[in-house]
Structure 1
């Protein structure tokens, strides 16, 4: 049997010693802390503060902070694998952890690849040192609210949340919906549009709003179908002052990042890769009579219908894993057309197959799988949410694959033959 920390990537997948150590750490924290509490956060629709305490103690909040700043220095592919391992134990925690880690990656390894003037680079290095220090020294949690209920989060329009330049900083007004970690984050990495006569996506500002800033309120109820432990309520910004030094990228640079590093929009997928693995793992344990919480063990593995169902699940899981691992190896600045298409395909496949695997698991395990004392019904509900998540929903992935496969950049049907 492969070691538990390797199951998310499959047996014999080539890992560096550092990747193996980080996956082992994630497996330990997931098994000891995240999994035993997952049902509680789901039942209460409450934020997993205790999980964050344990991840902070393990150093995982600094996973994507460069080693030069005291973090663990994980690159993109390593983060994606570690995130999937955490998702295997608690999907809601892994999903919120993604928002935090992406704030560090956008500010760190992604920004290192972007074109900046000497002045912009110096400004960015100066500002991000303080962000990294807050995470490593103080254990700060960052969020990354995108959604506004408009086309902005999908990259089709400027953000409705605005930033007006004032002395020493910015005045922020607007709102973000489905803001994961609402009320729990120390800083919200807010994407907003610099106010001008003709607002443009090129004017996007990426800035960290302190969670206790005057004028920032958290509102609305949180009682969703799944991913209940993310506590993704609505953020309202009313004349919120944010100092210049809290920028996560220099003004105008985010637009370049969004276009040149598309794989950063795929970072929600590992959570659902982990859920898919968890559904398969539980089904095998259940049919072998080894599932925890089942009382006297009963084996059900001898029935041909169960064996065929597990075979179907295994095939689907391996197909999904193969595309996931290939796509994260593609990730880089300015990827080619096929790599972009493969990223969309991986996102779509993971989000849809995670739920399909959970459906098969419920059908195969039978009536007891509906009970909240077992994890399958939670995995099923959590997995259904993935296809809806911006900026790459399942529908948007299909749209982009079809369009970009058939048209070259700048090409249209009105172009002369």
Structure 2
């Protein structure tokens, strides 16, 4: 069977123009995807055909090399631009892109050749799955899955994971778990790659949520899957100690994109209604929201520039600042836009209430209060270390 290889867009202006050209179709389909909580297949068919699904594959393997030094700022700009159209699609785009980027960093040459490059070049989708927090249950959410050897010396995987964004659309799952040992869980963690076609893998459709519904972040269950030795990526703990790239600014970019989409809609709504456009109070609110967004975007891209400089420790420190501001601004702007536009704007024929729900739901994906608390602790301690999964931890002098 011949596998189609898709092009890769290497010029940022062209990438942004491509997203703009796809925006009308994305907007037209967003309501159906949201109401039915189904994966945006057509959106990703178009992203794939446009060459936007191999952006975090290294250049020497045929990708664009984004989400690495020199490619952080353009990567977050793409997420922000997508989120201004449809936040769930932007989140799915970043989950897949992060998966390809993480695999590319940890993979050996042989693994790149066998697994990662073929997936990316063919536009296959890869989900990153780590959470063991069960929806609706009272539990700590702490992961405990560990690979074990069977009596034949083979690695065997048994796990139940949740919040697997991309859900049934993923072609492969990058699952985070630990190797056997006595060190802390994070320092034993590796990524393993399990194909969607594995009969030992079962999808759990439990995604019925307030917002971000078309991310279809289902659960997955893997039972007695014999894992090939070469499907284990990275040395134990590599993401914690060797590669401090995180999701922090991707969250911020998604928030600010959704807020901008809300404000753009609101400006058009007000402009077409003279009784609103002439109100000094509404003009003030529009100006204030625009100022908030500009300030938050400045924080986002300042931190992205620090990532691009190679100073990853300072970059994550600044990223926590940016995320703290982005969440507050996004929640404020999406809510105030509804106030400005009034009751008719909450009808589902318009995107405003969806932007609001998506922002509210996505802001629960992480506990920003914990990020911000640690930020304050780091300021008091005078030093910090970067967490592999995002944020910083104070270190006493």
TM over 0.5: same fold? Answer: yes
Query: Does the alignment pair 1:356 with 2:332?
Result: yes
Q: In angstroms, what is the RMSD of aligned CA positions?
A: 2.8
> Could you tell me the TM-score, scaled by structure 2's length?
0.85
State the Cα distance separating 1:197 from its structure 2 match: 5.1
Distance 2:147 2:115 in 1: 20
Distance 2:328 2:285 in 1: 18
The answer to whether the 8 A contact 1:177-1:232 is kept is: yes
Query: Does the alignment pair 1:186 with 2:171?
Result: yes
What are the Cα deviations for residues 253-302 of structure 1, in whole angstroms up to 9, with x where unaligned?
A: 22323xx524444323222221011011011111111xxxxxxx766311
Aligned equivalent of 2:185, options 197, 200, 205: 200
Distance 2:306 2:154 in 1: 38
**Number of residues paired by the alignment?**
370
Aligned equivalent of 1:266, options 249, 272, 292: 249
Aligned to 1:160, the other structure's residue is in SS state coil
Task: Summarize the Cα distance change of 1:170–1:273 in structure 2 as closer, same or farther, 3 Å threshold.
Answer: farther
Aligned equivalent of 1:67, options 50, 53, 59: 59
Aligned equivalent of 2:32, options 40, 44, 49: 40
Distance 1:58 1:168 in 2: 44
Aligned equivalent of 2:294, options 318, 335, 341: 318
Aligned to 1:144, the other structure's residue is in SS state strand
* Runs (5+) with no aligned partner, structure 2: 1-9, 135-139, 386-392
Distance 1:131 1:204 in 2: 20
- For 2:156, the equivalent position in structure 1 comes to 171
Task: Summarize the Cα distance change of 1:210–1:299 in structure 2 as closer, same or farther, 3 Å threshold.
Answer: farther
What are the Cα deviations for residues 318-372 of structure 1, in whole angstroms up to 9, with x where unaligned?
A: 11111111111111655344x4332111112112211110011000001111100
- For 2:137, the equivalent position in structure 1 comes to none
Aligned equivalent of 1:233, options 218, 228, 253: 218
State the Cα distance separating 1:66 from its structure 2 match: 2.2
Distance 2:209 2:108 in 1: 38
Q: How does 1:2-401 map to 2 (within 5 A)?
A: 18-29=11-22, 31-74=23-66, 75-108=71-104, 124-149=108-133, 159-165=143-149, 170-196=155-181, 200-257=185-242, 260-289=243-272, 300-331=276-307, 335-337=312-314, 339-390=315-366, 393-401=367-375
State the Cα distance separating 1:99 from its structure 2 match: 0.7
Aligned to 2:53, the other structure's residue is in SS state helix
Aligned to 1:378, the other structure's residue is in SS state helix
What are the Cα deviations for residues 130-178 of structure 1, in whole angstroms up to 9, with x where unaligned?
A: 333333443210011222229xxxxx99731222246786322222111
* Runs (5+) with no aligned partner, structure 1: 1-16, 112-122, 151-155, 290-296
State the Cα distance separating 1:373 from its structure 2 match: 0.4
State the Cα distance separating 1:239 from its structure 2 match: 1.7
Aligned to 1:261, the other structure's residue is in SS state coil
State the Cα distance separating 1:251 from its structure 2 match: 4.2
Distance 1:168 1:58 in 2: 44
Distance 2:141 2:224 in 1: 22
> Could you tell me the TM-score, scaled by structure 1's length?
0.81
Distance 1:388 1:249 in 2: 29
Task: Summarize the Cα distance change of 1:62–1:168 in structure 2 as closer, same or farther, 3 Å threshold.
Answer: farther
Distance 1:204 1:157 in 2: 16
What are the Cα deviations for residues 222-258 of structure 1, in whole angstroms up to 9, with x where unaligned?
A: 210000000011111222222223334344422323x
Aligned to 2:56, the other structure's residue is in SS state coil
The answer to whether the 8 A contact 1:145-1:189 is kept is: yes
What are the Cα deviations for residues 13-65 of structure 1, in whole angstroms up to 9, with x where unaligned?
A: xxxx9222222222222x14322211111111111111111111001111211
Distance 1:178 1:371 in 2: 29
